[in-house]
Amino acid sequence: MPRRYWYVILAYIIMQFSGIVGVSFLYSLTSLNLVDASIYWTMFSFFAGLIVILYLMRPDMRIERSDEGASNRGVLLWAVTGVFMAYLAQFLAITIEIAVFGIDPGSENTEMIMDISRATPFFVIIPMFIAPILEEIVFRKIIFGFFYKRMNFFFAALLSALIFGFIHGEPQHILIYGSMGFVFAYVYVATKRLITPILVHIGMNSIAVIVQYTLPSEQALLQWILIGG
């Protein structure tokens, strides 16, 4: 694995856990309350993480532009198809969770993000755009790519999808997050362009945020049950 990939993973980990120190630091220096300090630090850390990781990934951007991947039109077609594929996979995963394992529908992670977004609307940029870009770089380009060079697609996608699921902090919904990660890996291999799973991920998150943001809680929960969140 290239050294810059380890730097990317390190930057991603620091971004995720920087709030342990950063929130207290921001709270002590400003008049913000603890909740607002946490929100603003999260936005700062994600923006900073995006800039650092995109800078580290510059060589890969040049390689992909010169690679024999799908055309821009092909990427768009696969992106639209991928959204439907991912929602279908999530629907099947949710059905299994409810019918087989008796897991209650709903996501504390999604509810927390939406509570923050309603309090600070600008925050929606993170789940809709920044998080998908960062997660596809880390989990598809680097982690899946690492496994895919050493084993067949199924096991490489499975391992990266499981890691992707666990990182969201809801192990009871590992089937849902894992199924989504599996589809992202598939469209990545199908097009040989990382922008494809990024667009699929952005599409899914954006639909979920818009629905959760605009519908009453009961209807939003129904949307989560039917097509995921």
Q: What do you get for the CA distance between the two ends of the chain, in Å?
A: 33
Q: H helices within the chain, ranges in order?
A: 3-17, 19-29, 34-56, 58-66, 72-99, 108-119, 125, 131-135, 145-148, 153-167, 174-191, 195-214, 217-227
Amino acid at 22: G
Known catalytic membership, residue 173: no
Catalytic residue among 64, 97, 108, 135: 135
| Region class of 228: left (phi > 0), else alpha (psi between -120 and 50), else beta | left
Q: How far apart are alpha carbons 200 and 211 in whole angstroms?
A: 17
Residue with tokens 């097509």: 227
Does 64 participate in catalysis according to the annotation? no
Nearest of 220, 199, 209 to residue 86 by alpha carbon? 199
The catalytically annotated residue of 97, 108, 136, 168 is: 168
| Residue positions annotated with a catalytic role | 135, 168
